Structures are given as structure tokens and as C-alpha cells.
């Protein structure tokens, strides 16, 4: 049985990948209206952070054995 942190990491990883892909798409196809601080591309930053944290959780808890 896997610990809950493995599944939390898996969800963070999947959602982070989706957010990064959305940010990359909006980087090449910008929307018509500009948002505040959109020049720093927060979706790419936060998506990347979520991917890294998700990978840490998944890799740290993939072989944990609970008795």
C-alpha cells in the first residue's frame, strides 16, 4: 500500500505539467488583454515548482513499505 504523499506528489506532478504546458502555449500565443505582471509568466514558474515538488514526493515515497 502506498502512502498518501505518493498520490499527493502524483497529483502535483500532473497538475504542474498541465500548468507549464498552458504557460508555454500562452507564451507563444498571447491573449489579447494583458494582465498585471503577466510579463514574468507566473504560470510557468508555479507549474515548474509544482513539478519539482511533485517529483520529490513521488520519488521519496515510491518504495516506502508500511507495516
Query: Is the model more confident about 41 or about 66?
Result: 41
Q: Is 67 within the bounds of a domain?
A: no
With cut-offs at 50, 70 and 90, classify the pLDDT of residue 15. very high
Residue 18: domain span: 4-28+38-61
Q: Is 9 within the bounds of a domain?
A: yes
Total of domains in the chain: 1
Whether the pLDDT of residue 67 is over 60: the answer is no
Q: Is 44 within the bounds of a domain?
A: yes
Give the Cβ contact number of residue 45 at 10 Å: 13
Spatial neighbors of 45 by CB under 8 A, at least 6 apart, are none
Q: Is 10 within the bounds of a domain?
A: yes
What mean pLDDT is predicted for residues 9-19? Answer: 97
Per residue in 23-55, pLDDT tens?
A: 999 889 887 777 788 889 999 999 999 999 999
Average pLDDT, the chain: 89
Amino acid at each position: 500500500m502506498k502512502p498518501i504523499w505518493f498520490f499527493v506528489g502524483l497529483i502535483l506532478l500532473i497538475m504542474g505539467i498541465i500548468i507549464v504546458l498552458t504557460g508555454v502555449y500562452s507564451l507563444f500565443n498571447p491573449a489579447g488583454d494583458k494582465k498585471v505582471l503577466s510579463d514574468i509568466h507566473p504560470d510557468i514558474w508555479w507549474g515548474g515548482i509544482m513539478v519539482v515538488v511533485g517529483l520529490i514526493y513521488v520519488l521519496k515515497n515510491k518504495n516506502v513499505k508500511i507495516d
